[in-house]
């Protein structure tokens, strides 16, 4: 009888979460892109104009309560009611420096990257119509933000938003990271980086692509063990890469 109650509780917990996020949640006004529902059209939502804000935020964590610990919830179902343990940044732990970047390709064939490394912060009012607002090295609540000028969507062919760990020990498994897109209209779009790839240094998160005039956002979440050059090879960008350094003055 107790087992049946636990299973019922878990079915409601996991089934409810999937229903809320896969189809959009009116209460949170958000759409979560998942493996099952992996893309959304900004054009069809009337959100393909204005500035699209792309935000990266993360927190350090020491608990595995979440997607990878579903098995433990069968033995201790009420752990689901307890939030995952989040550790603040202190001297006793290694800070993880996640960076937000974007590979871009324009309709005229121009290709490049927007990222803190090398000081390639981009431009929102001129090509590539993508601009990184700054570099958050400590995972603060505001995180890192990038802006895409969708009023120039006809000049944009594709944008690959990615996240990488700069000059630190790979630690995607120690963080809870989320990339959120805030269109000028309609619900925000969330992509969670919850998969466990402890040795990965980079992750292709989301592709924004102009498909026959329709602006489509597609979840990627592909972890790689190298840096931008490996992402480049994976998606066929064809850029030349060298060792880069962050600008001393962040914008």
Hey, what domains does the chain have and what are their CATH numbers?
Answer: 38-63+95-235 (2.60.60.30)
Predicted confidence at residue 250, as pLDDT, reads 40
Coil, strand or helix at 158: strand
* SS3 label, residue 204: strand
From first to last of its 251 residues, the chain has per-residue pLDDT tens of 333 333 332 333 333 333 333 334 444 589 999 999 999 999 999 999 999 999 999 887 655 444 444 444 344 444 444 444 333 333 334 567 789 999 999 999 999 999 988 889 999 999 999 999 864 444 444 568 999 999 999 999 999 999 998 766 667 878 888 999 999 999 999 999 988 788 889 999 999 999 999 999 999 999 999 889 999 999 999 998 876 554 543 43
The structure's pTM equals: 0.74
**β-sheet bridge partners, residue 177:** 58, 193
CB 108: neighbour CB atoms within 10 A? 8
Q: CB-based contacts of 158: which residues, under 8 Å, 6+ apart?
A: 104, 105, 207, 208, 209, 210
Write the DSSP assignment of 31-52 as a string of letters. Answer: EE--SSS-EEETTTTT--SSEE
Dist. CA 131–CA 188, nearest whole Å: 19
- Using the Cα atoms of residue 65, residue 70, residue 72 and residue 73 in order, give the sign of their dihedral: positive
Can you tell me the distance from the alpha carbon of 54 to that of 132, in angstroms, rounded to the nearest whole number? 9
Query: Which of 55, 62, 139, 61 has its CA nearest to residue 98?
Result: 139
Residue 111: name the closest of 227, 231, 21 by CA. 231
Whether the Cβ atoms of residue 225 and residue 199 lie closer than 8 Å to each other: yes
φ and ψ at residue 217, rounded to 5 degrees:
-105, 125
The residues facing 32 across adjacent strands are 190
Cα 162 to the chain's mean position, in Å? 7
Question: Does 40 sit behind a cis peptide bond, omega within 30 degrees of 0 on the bond before it?
Answer: no
């Amino acid at each position: 009888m107790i087992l049946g109650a636990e299973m019922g509780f878990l079915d409601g917990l996991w089934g409810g979460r999937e229903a809320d996020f896969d189809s959009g949640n009116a209460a949170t006004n958000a759409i979560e892109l998942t493996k099952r529902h992996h893309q959304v059209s900004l054009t069809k939502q009337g959100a393909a104009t204005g500035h699209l804000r792309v935000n990266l935020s993360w927190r350090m964590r020491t608990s595995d309560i979440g997607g990878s610990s579903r098995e433990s919830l069968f033995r201790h179902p009420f752990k689901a009611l307890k939030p995952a343990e989040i550790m603040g940044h202190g001297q006793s732990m290694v800070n993880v420096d996640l960076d937000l970047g974007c590979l871009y390709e324009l309709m005229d064939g121009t290709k490049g990257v927007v990222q803190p490394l090398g000081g390639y912060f981009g431009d929102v009012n001129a090509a590539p119509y993508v601009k990184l607002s700054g570099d958050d090295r400590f995972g603060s609540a505001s995180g890192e933000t990038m802006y895409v000028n969708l009023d120039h969507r006809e000049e944009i062919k594709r944008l690959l938003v990615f996240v990488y760990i700069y000059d630190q020990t790979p630690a995607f498994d120690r963080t809870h990271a989320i990339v959120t897109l805030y269109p000028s209209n309609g619900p925000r779009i969330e992509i969670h980086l919850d998969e466990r790839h402890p040795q990965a240094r980079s992750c292709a998160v989301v592709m924004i692509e102009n498909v026959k005039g329709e602006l489509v956002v597609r979840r990627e979440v592909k972890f790689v063990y190298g840096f931008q050059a490996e992402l480049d090879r994976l998606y066929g960008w064809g850029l030349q890469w060298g060792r880069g350094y962050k600008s001393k003055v962040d914008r």
